[in-house]
Amino acid sequence: MADLRTPEVEDLLDVLVSISDKDTLFALLEDMFTIREIRESSQRLAVARMLDEGKSYAKIEAATGASATTIARVSKCLGYGAGGYRAALDELAMRGEQ
């Protein structure tokens, strides 16, 4: 994935880490992504949280509406990915939001 770290991606990362206001960040997400993309991304985080809690695919599918394919993809990333889901879940846990 190193070839994905273009100067444009670096600019996006810089912007994302610099925005501390949730409303401003949400406005950026609204402008950059479709409603569907925002919903799917937040759904994937919910799936990661439930997988981390040891929930079954069936329970996750029923609770989130995510497909078995999406759940499997998130599971693979959670176990063998770059660590992004783990960092996000740890951040939520630190904030008491898990």
- Under 8 Å between Cβ of 89 and 49: yes
Return the closest-CA partner of residue 49 out of 71, 26, 67.
71
Which residues does 75 contact at the CB level (< 8 Å), separation at least 6? 51
Say whether pLDDT at 7 is over 90. yes
pLDDT tens readout for residues 18-61:
999 999 999 999 999 999 999 999 999 999 999 999 999 999 99
In the chain, domain spans: 1-32, 39-98
DSSP string, 40-94: HHHHHHHHHHHHHTT--HHHHHHHH---HHHHHHHHHHHHHS-SHHHHHHHHHHH
pTM of the shown model: 0.89
Phi, psi (degrees; rounded to nearest 5) at 89: -65, -40
pLDDT over 70 for what percent of the chain?
97
